[in-house]
Amino acid sequence: MVRRYAYSTDEYNVRNYSTLFLGMLAFGLLYSLIALLSFPLLWFEQNHPGAYILSYADAFWALQMSASTIGFGDFYPTSQGGRIIVALMFYIGVGIVGFIGAQIASKMVGFADTNVRNRELRRQNDEILSHNKELEHKLDLLFKQLERRSVIESTHSSSTHKAPTTRQKGFI
């Protein structure tokens, strides 16, 4: 197997991505989105009357809480644009946080290791296909033997089976 940083390939050339790599990628994506979306959230909120989000740290915290679905309620958007950004982060964040949780659960419990099952099924499939080819070869040989035997029997029976020319005594 060829080992790489992000994934390894098995004997069937299937990429098996590292759980650590996928988790770190998802975590980096999540916090990059939070960091980027904090700027427009702050822009919408800082000049809105009655706003609770007044600094970049407040915007970052609000988006982090919405992505994790905790939402303490200490910082929440009051403008329409801020609400849209927080809702967007909620929907995206729930998916990413759920993916990270699934990666952790998969690594700890190991209940869904489909890579091993797929390899076993491919190996079994290869064995079945090779066995089928062997059976086809044996059937071809058997058919050839039957054809030869039928040709021999048909030539033998046509040469030995002659119509009687005279009637023999004692036979009806």
Q: Where are the domains of the chain?
A: 2-110, 113-152
Question: What is the CB neighbour count within 10 angstroms for residue 93?
Answer: 22
Question: Pick from 89, 96, 91: which is nearest to 44 by CA?
Answer: 89
Stated pTM of the model: 0.61
- Which tokens belong to 157? 């029976």
pLDDT of residue 7: 74
Average confidence (pLDDT) per 10 residues, the chain, 172 residues: 64 74 89 95 91 92 88 84 93 90 79 66 87 93 89 75 55 52
2-11 contact pairs (CB < 8 A, 24+): 10/115, 10/119, 11/119
Q: What pLDDT score was predicted for residue 2? A: 41
Alpha helices in the chain (DSSP H): 19-46, 56-67, 80-109, 114-160
Q: So what's the pLDDT on residue 171?
A: 53
β-bridge mates for residue 146, sequence order:
none
CA torsion sign for 149, 155, 160, 161 is: positive
Residue 7, strand partner residues: 17
So what's the pLDDT on residue 149?
86
pLDDT of residue 1: 41
* pLDDT value at residue 4: 64
What class has domain 2-110?
Answer: mainly alpha
Residues 134, 138, 144, 147, Cα dihedral to 10°: -140
The answer to whether 52 and 79 are in contact (CB under 8 A) is no
The amino acid sitting at 144 is K
